[in-house]
Chains A and B, each alone.
Chain A
Amino acid sequence: MLFPTTVFALFFAVVFALHWGLVRFPLTRKIVLLGASLFFYGYWSWKFALMLLASALLNHGAAVLIDRAGDRKTGRKLVALTVAANLLVLGIFKYTGFLFTRLMVPLAVPLCSWLGTTEQLIGLQERVLPFIERIVLPVGISFYTFQALSYVADVYWRKTAVARSALDFANYLAFFPQLVAGPIVRASALLPQMAVFPDRSVRLDTGRAATLIMGGLFKKMVVANWLSEHLADPVFAMPEAYGGGDILLGVYAYALQIYCDFSAYSDIAIGCALLLGFHFPINFHAPYFAVTLQEFWRRWHISLSTWLRDYLYIPLGGSRGSRMRTRVNLLLTFLLGGLWHGAGWTFVLWGAFHGVYLSLERVVRNALGLPEKPSAHTPFFLAVLGRIWIFQVVCFSWILFRASNLSVAGDVLRGLCRWNGPCELFSVTAVWVLGIGFLLQFLDGERLRPVWNVVSRWPGWIQGAVAAVILTMILGMGPTGVSPFIYFQF
């Protein structure tokens, strides 16, 4: 089920009414919310919903056993087993094809040719490939697997208490606003909210919720879809047909498209959860205003970068060891972060690029005597230069991220050096949409708090009417049809 559709609007209206109408029946309310989340997910396939439910039950069972384990050694073994089981499921669905066709076969071809067993290799491929082609990646599996892993680890580290019941944990893992594309909400933040549902004494920040939902729909339906359809998709589909100017425009367009697309999903998710009385962390904080790449990762997909920091980088040793060890840890973290996004060499290279750049950034900043974190007192001119530079660095990395394979990435990079011929994609509308896409970053964080407060003070019917009129105009401005969010594929 996609957010900007009639089906979701109807679904949300029913869930909203039931959620607040069943306040006197806490258990029924929890069961209804879980049923709604499973229905939302099962709208793609009921098998996905069953898998999610099984994941919730198994991870909760494991967490209970870890919590009750008498000694740390048993607990550690149980954690290792649970993590392995989760990663195995993720691996089967997400990485089987990549491991077989992109890693094993290319390595086996020269070996089999040398051994004279090429025919056997072809036979094996013919038997295995139809099986691999039948594997369908469940939407959002990477997101909920990471949530489950963090819960198990936190229970083991005693950072969070084990859920009161399997129902509470299932509601946490399957909660529909954040299920398919995040934010990756930690158990410590959402489980207590799932244990005791908000009652009618809470105050709902409708001003913030409406701004987030309307802003998110505008970002996705108008800006991201336009940039994708008119600039980014044509360039990445046929880079050899365009000159340097068009390709540069396409790359910038993709940078803003992915921001508007992904942050839109997070905003709508946060807004919907707020209307149900639940609070999520923010996931974006004006990422293209970052002065360093390190700062970019504090502002982009915050829930994933903090997850990677807490459950991968720090357990690997973080920056506690030697400088070389820190760099290796950074590289490993970003390599796995790249692989998390997708099973392909382009994602591995994208992760490696970020890992290497972050390491180099540390070295250069240390050599220049600059603080590791850019302070608020950075001279204005230097901060502007830093922002422009980091935007170019991130855009360069998006080429690897967006290209369907390394050959396309190579074509795009070569095209950037081909500055002959007219700029076919350039138009005044393109400049407007790119500019608006960039300025939409001002909606992130708490900048609009005064607006939310003003909206919340309006009478209820005015709030509802204004939101309906704005949404109608957004729908009228957007192209016909609904394209899925980019992060659904991860």
Chain B
Amino acid sequence: MEHESDIYDNPHNGGIVVKRACFCVGVFFTLMVLLNGVSMYKSAMRLEYGRTHDFWVAVLSPVERVSRSSGLFRLREWTEMTLGAWLNKLSKK
């Protein structure tokens, strides 16, 4: 187990400037929330009653409305009903 060199990634590889990366991450989070708003809200509704439940339901209800009205939630719904249902059919029985 000795003699081999440790493998570290190369910090000098290419990439994009921080400003562009921030924009990219911003787009990712915005779209993520819109695509998954309905599912996130449903998950929050399943939380045990209490302050955490109330907090997340309050935070996610406007997100759920935007996600539903924009129709973007349908991608998640479609994936769950097709690929997800096929993969998890045993556990969902």
Which residue of chain A lies nearest to B21 when distances are taken between CB atoms in the complex? A204
Interface residues as binary, A441-468 with B (CB distance below 8 Å gives 1, 0 otherwise): 0000100010011001000110111011
Interface residues as binary, B7-39 with A (CB distance below 8 Å gives 1, 0 otherwise): 111010111111111111111111110011001
Q: Say yes or no: is A285 at the interface (Cβ < 8 Å to chain B).
A: yes
Interface of A is mostly: helix
Q: Is the CB of A203 within 8 A of B25?
A: no
Q: Say yes or no: is B48 at the interface (Cβ < 8 Å to chain A).
A: no
Residues in B45-89 with C-beta less than 8 Å from chain A: 56, 75-80, 83-84, 86-88
Q: Is the CB of B76 within 8 A of A476?
A: yes
Apart from A472-B75, A476-B78, 9 more pairs, CB < 8 Å: A6-B56, A200-B19, A226-B87, A302-B6, A309-B2, A456-B14, A464-B29, A465-B31, A469-B75
The smallest beta-carbon distance between B64 and chain A, in angstroms, is: 13
Q: Is the CB of B1 within 8 A of A305?
A: yes
The smallest beta-carbon distance between B44 and chain A, in angstroms, is: 8
A-B contact pairs, 18 of them (CB 8 A): A16-B25, A203-B17, A204-B16, A206-B24, A222-B87, A302-B7, A308-B1, A333-B1, A358-B1, A433-B87, A456-B15, A456-B16, A461-B23, A464-B27, A473-B75, A475-B39, A478-B84, A479-B87
Which residue of chain B lies nearest to A203 when distances are taken between CB atoms in the complex? B15
The smallest beta-carbon distance between A486 and chain B, in angstroms, is: 19
Query: Known contacts being A270-B9, A460-B16, A473-B83, is A309 close to B23, with CB within 8 Å?
Result: no
Q: Is the CB of B9 within 8 A of A476?
A: no
Q: Is the CB of B31 within 8 A of A464?
A: yes
Query: Known contacts being A204-B18, A206-B16, A306-B6, is A460 close to B32, with CB within 8 Å?
Result: no
The smallest beta-carbon distance between B11 and chain A, in angstroms, is: 4
Interface of B is mostly: helix
Q: Is the CB of A200 within 8 A of B17?
A: yes
Q: Say yes or no: is A205 at the interface (Cβ < 8 Å to chain B).
A: yes
The smallest beta-carbon distance between B48 and chain A, in angstroms, is: 14
Q: Which residues of B contact A (CB under 8 A)?
A: 1-2, 4, 6-9, 11, 13-32, 35-36, 39-40, 43, 56, 75-80, 83-84, 86-88, 90-91
Chain B residues within 8 Å of A469, by CB: 31, 35, 75
Query: Known contacts being A465-B27, A468-B32, is A230 close to B90, with CB within 8 Å?
Result: yes
Q: Is the CB of B22 within 8 A of A20?
A: yes
Chain B residues within 8 Å of A204, by CB: 15-18, 21
Q: Is the CB of B20 within 8 A of A460?
A: yes
Q: Number of A residues contacting the other chain (C-beta, 8 Å)?
A: 67
Q: Say yes or no: is A42 at the interface (Cβ < 8 Å to chain B).
A: no
Q: Is the CB of B86 within 8 A of A429?
A: yes
A465, B79: Cα distance in complex, Å: 17
> What's the count of A-B pairs with C-beta under 8 Å?
157
Q: Say yes or no: is A208 at the interface (Cβ < 8 Å to chain B).
A: yes
A308, B2: Cα distance in complex, Å: 10
A186, B4: Cα distance in complex, Å: 16
Chain B residues within 8 Å of A456, by CB: 14-16
Q: Say yes or no: is A109 at the interface (Cβ < 8 Å to chain B).
A: no
| Interface stretch (choices A144-152, A252-260, A274-282, A384-392) | A274-282
Chain B residues within 8 Å of A477, by CB: 79, 83-84, 87
Chain A residues within 8 Å of B11, by CB: 279
Residues in A348-374 with C-beta less than 8 Å from chain B: 358
Chain B residues within 8 Å of A452, by CB: 13
Chain A residues within 8 Å of B2, by CB: 309, 313-314, 318-319
A208, B9: Cα distance in complex, Å: 11
Q: Say yes or no: is A124 at the interface (Cβ < 8 Å to chain B).
A: no
Chain A residues within 8 Å of B16, by CB: 203-204, 206, 456, 460
Chain A residues within 8 Å of B43, by CB: 6
Chain B residues within 8 Å of A200, by CB: 17-19
A230, B76: Cα distance in complex, Å: 23
